[in-house]
Chain A
């Protein structure tokens, strides 16, 4: 087991020597991977920031529950107790039709005698603040409330948040597609580089095969090279994102006075940054494995 790890360490050493002995071209490869991954990562950053805003708004979403005019007080009490039992309701506020009518009159400076309105046209209403934005839970609550006797209409006052959510969802799908295409591009670029490396190490591969090396032994340094490319590329992506956030936020603060507000971008979390590095390393490893395997098969000497 120790020898197995020793062998991996040797392969890693050989890969490091290959990367640093051609540092110029390795740096170019880091930049290619870094910049290519920057595009979907910056998209993810924007979607994450906008999602946070929409999530905050979502907690303020309200249901307006309008009751029938003929409703009796015991029915209102029953609805109140039903609302109190629901776990997804943060708070409820009951607005009686009399209070609402008084407020409306004072706000609009209306006199019933002047307007010719003989009776209060407003119904009793509950205004409900929700502590969730889960569509399924809200729909269940609405359908349950609709079945209660005395309830006339229910309005969900977060339609635009819903639209924003839908746009963000579409953006996420777009980013996923863009990311997938760019990953394919990266695999092709890294594969080609590794394929060229196998050609420059043709003698070494042939000699190793002749003296009993397995294909996995020969492939190992190339795979570690791919992993190092991925690591370097991932780090460049994260550094570029940090730099872009800094520049954007500084510009946003400078324009605060002109725009009357700021939009500060928050950095991705450590787990998301780690995710970018892992994805980059996996792309590098997969691409180099694929390219090295194909090339080494071509050098097969057992005929």
Chain B
């Protein structure tokens, strides 16, 4: 296995930011798998009854988890926006280098905007109930 020759691939290319977006799609996808795990943990706790739910919420409302929720929101909107970009490519649209770079910028800006709105709404809701 170790003796198999491997052609130089990723490292021979000059870096372009579209590459970073490409791998971030997979990274955010894996982060969303963990977010789905947390979401289902939350729902199962709610299904199990008030005591189990209260115990789960003590974990989910802790500060480390709150920070992870912000990461999950970023991952969600990134994967969402870049996923739409992938679907556009699947339709045969936007393959030109200039178009791909422009759509990359749009994805990043849209991700940051949507995430900012969500985090703002969360903080406001948290301030209201606290």
Do A and B interact with each other, yes or no? Answer: no
Where the two chains meet, the residues of B that have a C-beta atom closer than 8 Å to any C-beta of A are none
Where the two chains meet, the residues of A that have a C-beta atom closer than 8 Å to any C-beta of B are none
